[in-house]
A and B are shown apart, each in its own frame.
Chain A
């Protein structure tokens, strides 16, 4: 029987695809064809016929392993050991670990409902945080980049990835060129394997004697970030999808001097879609330069912690529209002043918005104005703050909201499916202004998540069946109420209420 046949009518060749009729494709070729299928597709293929199942027996096991691993309850060292079993097992484990790097900042990752997957994500976080963190070597001197290179063998094949989570943290600040050299060597050889890069501007490493002496004071007064290294560093990681730039802790009054750097000096990073300045506590010139360079390709932006970048004078509404044409997900920790006005006027098609502020009456009104601006596209909304518990303010708010409603009614957010609130909002009477509006403008909502805030405070409030039922009654489309609470060790626990 022939493997191919010519159709005389259409002048095209059709290929017979079943392995037991086609003698022209030996098993190795089929194996090659199936090699690049996703785990899910591979499992489906093996169900097509017994011949394929037999041919793909070991691949099928690896595909199953990849899907099963996140459901198991295992210590990370055991998960890593599976990598030593065979090439296929290594690939399966690597896939699980790599997915972590690209997903760990998404909403669905943080709000993973399956307990076993949540556990697995924590396990991956341990591997990621402890072992590819080269930015805190003053705390862990044996985990230096140089030791890493020596351990792995510097001359190993650069084509093989050695960062199992594909996510690394390196310093942005180098006291001298000697500190930079090992980082440069590591990234020159293996930087193309990195998908997620965190750059951290470190406090200068001073020994105790120096710290309290004259020299220490001098060195502490200004803290230079050697931004001249930045363009070079970034050019060594051409495949990053996510870039996170951080400065040292917020409590420090250490002034930070960022060297002059222009957007044109920064290299092309075609895969970069997420920028995070979540832990950036210093002045804005560096984030601003990076935004100007990579803004147009971004889909996700996490704004600076204290001072929103959006309030910068150069970023007018027109400039913001031009700079971020593809933005889909935005997290603004604290929006106030001109940032609010801009957010109510930009033309972005956001599907996810996380926003934090509710202090004072006008800001609450602004919240609805901002949300209203994204009503056509918004699917998920997270409000990360709670209001001042001062009664006189609350009365003012109610007054403002009702006035606002009378003059320009807030339109319905037809696509909004998920709402995530501070647990404080469970006091339905205190947040009456909110719960009065929600059934009207968020009528298609399917899930409400309640989260603890601030994250280090042990939760006092909780949700009982009465308050859950009250919410179910107010909003007929809600199927689930999820209560996330902080447990020992900062792990999020989950309690789910479903509509009866």
Chain B
């Protein structure tokens, strides 16, 4: 089985089958570039991902492993109207996978999935964060993201006024 070494920003190396890695658009391109530039067709490609740390990269690979037999969703190719793709593919496994995560980690996963071009993972993580903001009160957003208000004086009121000028027509 052809393998590829994927190295995280903090230097952890993951040995992954090329078949699995190629389900990431970015890794697929990198493997192909390596193939073209290498004389030895047997050589094992090594790919450094400087923007993703090991903890996050492990989660991405774990998700890919679970979904290795799903049909690949192209990133933006032949797109249909809207973002209908996001509706598909969220299984019980996905819900259990995301459930224990802090939203900080989910946001890092979004950036990683975007960078590595893993559309299925990008969709479910985005949906999760969207659901913590859309239709929520400001206090609910604070609780979900574990953030505290640090506005001083009338700053909060003024921000509300700025928003209201936009929202109220």
Closest Cβ–Cβ distance, residue B141 to chain A (whole Å) = 5
Render A48-74 as a binary contact track against B, CB cut-off 8 A, 1 for contact: 000000000110110011011001111
Question: Given the complex of chains A and B, what is the CA–CA distance between A72 and B127 in angstroms?
Answer: 8
For B141, give its contact among A81, A88, A164 (CB under 8 Å).
A81
How many chain A residues have a CB neighbour from B under 8 Å?
51
For A164, give its contact among B130, B136, B156, B162 (CB under 8 Å).
B162
Closest Cβ–Cβ distance, residue B131 to chain A (whole Å) = 10
Residues of B within 8 A of A494 (CB): 76, 79
- Among B57-65, B89-97, B146-154, the stretch that binds chain A is B146-154
Q: A64-B107, A72-B126 are in contact. Are A493 and B167 (CB under 8 A)?
A: no
List residues 74-90 of chain B with CB under 8 A from any CB of chain A: 76-79, 81, 83, 86
Render B153-169 as a binary contact track against A, CB cut-off 8 A, 1 for contact: 00110111111111101
Residues of A within 8 A of B48 (CB): none
- Tell me if A113 counts as interface (CB < 8 A to partner B): yes
Residues of A within 8 A of B134 (CB): 74-75, 78
- Tell me if B129 counts as interface (CB < 8 A to partner A): yes
Render B95-121 as a binary contact track against A, CB cut-off 8 A, 1 for contact: 000000001100110110010000000
Q: Contact between B53 and A47 (Cβ–Cβ < 8 Å)? A: yes
Residues of B within 8 A of A58 (CB): 147-148
Q: Contact between B129 and A72 (Cβ–Cβ < 8 Å)? A: yes
Closest Cβ–Cβ distance, residue B43 to chain A (whole Å) = 23
Closest Cβ–Cβ distance, residue B93 to chain A (whole Å) = 23
- Tell me if A285 counts as interface (CB < 8 A to partner B): no
Q: Contact between B150 and A81 (Cβ–Cβ < 8 Å)? A: no
Q: Contact between A90 and B133 (Cβ–Cβ < 8 Å)? A: no
Q: Is the interface of B mostly helix, strand, loop or mixed?
A: helix
Q: Contact between B149 and A85 (Cβ–Cβ < 8 Å)? A: yes
- Tell me if B138 counts as interface (CB < 8 A to partner A): yes
The residue on A at minimum CB distance from B50 is A44
How many chain B residues have a CB neighbour from A under 8 Å?
48
Q: Contact between A493 and B79 (Cβ–Cβ < 8 Å)? A: yes
Question: Given the complex of chains A and B, what is the CA–CA distance between A160 and B158 in angstroms?
Answer: 10
Q: A68-B110, A87-B151 are in contact. Are A495 and B79 (CB under 8 A)?
A: yes
Q: Contact between A73 and B83 (Cβ–Cβ < 8 Å)? A: yes
Closest Cβ–Cβ distance, residue A396 to chain B (whole Å) = 39
Question: Given the complex of chains A and B, what is the CA–CA distance between A127 and B164 in angstroms?
Answer: 12
Q: Contact between A61 and B130 (Cβ–Cβ < 8 Å)? A: no
Residues of B within 8 A of A151 (CB): 161, 164-165
- Interface centre among A60, A73, A88, A153, by most chain B C-beta atoms within 10 angstroms, is A73
Q: Contact between A73 and B130 (Cβ–Cβ < 8 Å)? A: yes
Residues of A within 8 A of B136 (CB): 81
Q: A86-B149, A127-B166 are in contact. Are A64 and B133 (CB under 8 A)?
A: no
For A86, give its contact among B81, B122, B147 (CB under 8 Å).
B147
Q: A75-B134, A86-B142, A495-B77 are in contact. Are A152 and B165 (CB under 8 A)?
A: yes
Question: Given the complex of chains A and B, what is the CA–CA distance between A74 and B130 in angstroms?
Answer: 7
Q: Contact between B148 and A86 (Cβ–Cβ < 8 Å)? A: yes
Question: Given the complex of chains A and B, what is the CA–CA distance between A65 and B160 in angstroms?
Answer: 19
Q: 16 additional contacts, CB 8 Å, given A71-B122, A73-B83, A77-B166?
A: A61-B107, A61-B145, A71-B126, A73-B86, A73-B130, A74-B130, A77-B163, A78-B133, A84-B159, A84-B160, A86-B150, A86-B151, A89-B147, A115-B79, A153-B158, A495-B77
- The 7 listed contacts between A and B (C-beta, < 8 Å) are A64-B107, A68-B111, A72-B130, A78-B133, A151-B164, A152-B158, A496-B76
